Amino acid sequence: MSRHLTITAAQLNPTVGDIAGNIAKILDVYKKHKATSDIIVYSEQIVAGYPTDDLVLKPFFIDRVMKGVEKLAQQIDGTGAGILVSAPWRDQGKIFNAALLVHDGKVVAKRYKHHLPNYGVFDEVRVFAAGDLPHPVEFKGAKLGILTCEDMWFPKVTAQLRKEEAEILLVPNGSPYEVDKAHVRLEHAKKRVAETGLPLFYVNQVGGQDELVFDGASFIMDQKGKLLTQLPGHAEYVTTSIWEQGVDRIWNCKSCEAPHDLYTGNESIYQTLMLGLRDYVDKNGFPGVLLGMSGGIDSALSAAIAVDALGANCVRCFMMPSPYTSKESIDDAAECARLLGISHGSISIEPSMKAFDMMLKEASNQNTGITAENIQARTRGMLLMAMSNATGYMVLSTGNKSEISVGYATLYGDMCGGFNVLKDVYKTTIFELSKWRNQSHPHNAKGPSGRVIPERIITKPPSAELRLGQKDEDSLPPYPVLDDILQCLVEKEMNFDQIVEKGHAPETVNKVWKLLDRAEYKRRQACPGVKISRKAFGRDRRYPITNKFTDIITGAA
């Protein structure tokens, strides 16, 4: 006689530290599905939010998490579904990343994460103890193999579970977005399925947490590696599947949703930037954002993303012209604000420039060259921060990864801000995203459809306009060249000779490498921003500021 099992996947957006709020989300799904499901599977660390970082090292934080789970368990009766939740858990003086099966008013099983990631943005070895290889959990007639996130990326845990006759693999996850990462997850899942011959149920977190964006994209895979269900990316979603076990003990999916299409290419990046900004603003309680609208492409795209993520009523922009600001830039900034439907003010910084010129002359200093250029940027930064103080709106910094890489940004000037949505986006990608947005209306975007960035902003040569006739390419390689060299240095960690072999001029590689190294002190002082690449500045890439390892640039050992 065949047996049946109904499994629900809950792809939710928790908030780190909001134990009560996260439990409320868990219970909301439970109450809606307890009568029709046998087990509901939630994402990694759903109770505490993920990643919790050093909050886990606070004993009273763990106390509250465990008390929260105890209260949660009291609301999970024995007549309906069990729930598989995840939380930091204290056991014999150690803290584990734990998957907890809750049913009939108590935690009926605990399984601790074995493989702890300790690379890129992950520091789990710092805060968690590694669990032993897990045993299957018997629940409602099924032997469940429970493994958490990183445990799916290696064969050791699944081999142990298969050896002990697990029948279905349940995988709670906290896997953040990177460009083209979704297929990597699927490939690892296929390997584990091929090795074990077991179906796999993968539930990932969704939502922004500081610089990370979790894109969801949970999925169900049968014992042959076929993708049965693909949940949408970048949104909360709950779905239920019905399974049947035959005489051969193999569980087969009898009913589930057809796979949803995931966002790809520029749309995937744009959705990630929207979600990261929206959750940073909303979860931190800001009423909206304000930014300097220069008439350039970075501020125009930042404004478009902000409007799409938050709505026009939550975005304010200001043009702060100097004597070097062209009429075209003034007109382009005003037109971009009009197209986006956002308020647009203008404050001349010329009086401030004259005041600084007078003060510096009194101090026997010359207000020329880079000094004069930086004063303009810092005046604008001070004005924006003052307006932020007055309104509560967060300043949105608008620098891109190309500029941040080579130090073409002014400390306490255009680097001012609480968040930078373009921090991990190269200039060439910014042009692509701007063109894409003018031709497309993103799903769930709150901004207008149609063109939102004036064409001249996209086609004119980029310039900071801090002196007459200034263009970025006066002192930098063309952006396609610059960005390719930077990706070789930052994401690929290629050496000097390898980059030159790609066709780049040795002197250009040498210059870019030096600029990248020298700008580390600026990047340490930059605000957080959305991560989209494999190696974003910050926790992904931890280089010393004081660093004399530069001889390799000239080919010396």
What residues are labeled active site? 44, 113, 149
Burial state string for 85-113 with b = 16 or more CB within 10 A and e = fewer than 16: bbbbbbeeeebbbbbbbbbeeebbbbbbb
Sort strands 137-139 and 394-397 into parallel, antiparallel or unpaired.
unpaired
Q: List all residues 6 or more positions away from 483 whose beta carbon is below 8 Å from its beta carbon.
A: 402, 426, 427, 428, 429
Which of 388, 433, 30 is CA-nearest to residue 240? 30
Tell me the two tokens of residue 271: 């959705």
Maximum separation of any 2 CA atoms in the chain, in Å: 94
In angstroms, rounded to a whole number, what is the distance separating the alpha carbons of residues 357 and 292? Answer: 23
**Cβ-contact 466, 376 below 8 angstroms:** yes
Tell me the two tokens of residue 421: 């949505």
SS3 179: coil
Q: List all residues 6 or more positions away from 224 whose beta carbon is below 8 Å from its beta carbon.
A: 193
Q: List all residues 6 or more positions away from 58 whose beta carbon is below 8 Å from its beta carbon.
A: none
Strand-pair partners of 210: none
